[in-house]
Amino acid sequence: MSTANCTPHNAQDLTNRRFGRLIALYPTGKTKNRSRIWYCKCDCGNFKEATARNLNRGAVKSCGCIRSQAPRAVYAIQNNLHFVNGTCIEHLISARTRPVKSASGVRGVYYQKKRHCYAAYIGFQGKMHYLGSFTCLKDAAAARHAAEHQLHDTFLQEYYCKCSLSTKKYTTNST
């Protein structure tokens, strides 16, 4: 039996209703998985067929133009960020001024109820490094700060040295 002959359950009129960037124009007379297929017009001017189920649950919001525009926005954001060896320079710099989300009050230090101790972690170059477990918050915080200095500060100093050298090379070559 063809699915086109099945009557969809809850056949509702979606005519002129908006779903994201789509406006449902009319049912096509076809069904898919017992859901009516609607002919829709996108704000960008293209047309798309979508099931009533997908329209109602928000699975379809455009003809596909949103997907094609998203990479441009991501590119604009990434174009302003500087990544070196998998590490975002701006993230390292701003991490010290952002509010701490940890309940312990120290970035990267968490209390483990089952073990009755504090665990310290630090993220660097796309990896999470375990720094150890500590009975005292002060010791865990000290381990975290030492790791920040050892990893983050050293990395930033090397980055700024390389940047100043490349800038000097550029200015000497251009004169």
Domains and CATH numbers, the chain: 3-66 (no CATH), 78-174 (3.30.730.10)
Average pLDDT over residues 65-92: 67
8 Å CB contact between 121 and 130: yes
How far apart, in whole angstroms, are the C-alpha atoms of residue 119 and residue 112? Answer: 7
State both tokens at 39: 């002919």
The Cα 110–Cα 101 span in angstroms is 10
Asked if pLDDT for residue 1 goes beyond 90, the answer is: no
Three-state DSSP class for residue 137: helix
Strand order of the β-sheet with 18-19 is 18-19, 22-32, 35-42, 47-51
Tell me: the pLDDT tens digits for 101-152?
Answer: 778 888 889 999 999 999 999 888 878 889 999 999 999 999 999 998 888 8
**3-state class percentages of the chain: helix first, strand second, coil last, to nearest 5:** 40, 30, 35
Do residues 6 and 31 make contact, with C-beta atoms less than 8 angstroms apart?
A: yes
- Give the pLDDT mean for 52-67: 88
